[in-house]
Amino acid sequence: MIRVLIADDEALMRTGIRLILENADDIEVVAEAGDGREAAAACRTQDVDVALLDIQMPVRDGIAAAEDITRLSPRTNVVMLTAFGEEASVTRALRAGANGYLLKDTGPTELIRAVQLAAKGEPVLAPRVTRQLLDRHVQSGRGTESALHRIAELTPAERDVLRLLGTGLSNSEIADRLYLSAGTVKAHISRILTRTGCANRVQAAVLAHDAGLLDDN
């Protein structure tokens, strides 16, 4: 079972999300929180696979909670579920360690699928968020000195994996493209995250864009 925490300061919204997720046979909502501090505390004391966080919450907002959860409960994959799709919020959330960013107009089927993917460590981004995020980074971040420095120690094989990860491919798709096993790709990604200091696949994908790796496509 995928164990989920829902954090939103509106009780009615938490109830609605819970009802959607509990339609899935493999998802169990194990905790709810009304603010970011409660959300981080719940992830420390319970086994939570996916934390769905709103951004605007009292006491400690969702982005601050994402930082806390990423640091204190690294096994938990954080997905922002919010009404706000502004670029600044998206960028702050991803830098805080969020593995996904969804808008509250996401349909029930898409939300369930996103939670299932997030539980596997796959990035989940609303289409509109993906477009604006990648457009922004392609325009302004490509080839930055910092990004190039962070990928300097990667092997050629790891760079190939990072480049394809930056295009949004899954592990199995990367494996097919590079004629590798899924296990080998997973191992490469683990080393990429460690060597580049990325918290998750989404940050690694942004790094691939910043470093200009997709120019090789």
pTM, rounded to two decimals? 0.71
**What helix, strand, coil percent values describe the chain, rounded to 5?**
55, 15, 30
- Per residue in 100-154, pLDDT tens? 889 898 899 999 999 998 998 887 877 666 666 656 555 554 557 788 999 999 9
What per-residue confidence (pLDDT) applies to 130? Answer: 62
What per-residue confidence (pLDDT) applies to 124? Answer: 84
- Give CA separation, 77 vs 2, 121, 144, 202, in Å: 11, 7, 28, 11
The backbone region for 51, taken as left when phi is positive above 0, alpha when psi lies in -120 to 50, beta otherwise, is: beta
CB 5 within 8 A of CB 30: yes
- Per residue in 17-69, pLDDT tens? 999 999 999 999 999 999 999 999 999 999 999 999 999 999 999 999 999 99
Distance separating the N- and C-terminal Cα atoms of the chain: 38
Domains of the chain: 2-134 (3.40.50.2300), 141-216 (1.10.10.10)
CA distance 65 to 67: 5
pLDDT at residue 86 tops 80 = no
CA distance 120 to 201: 11
The kind and range of the H/E element at 125 are: strand 124-125
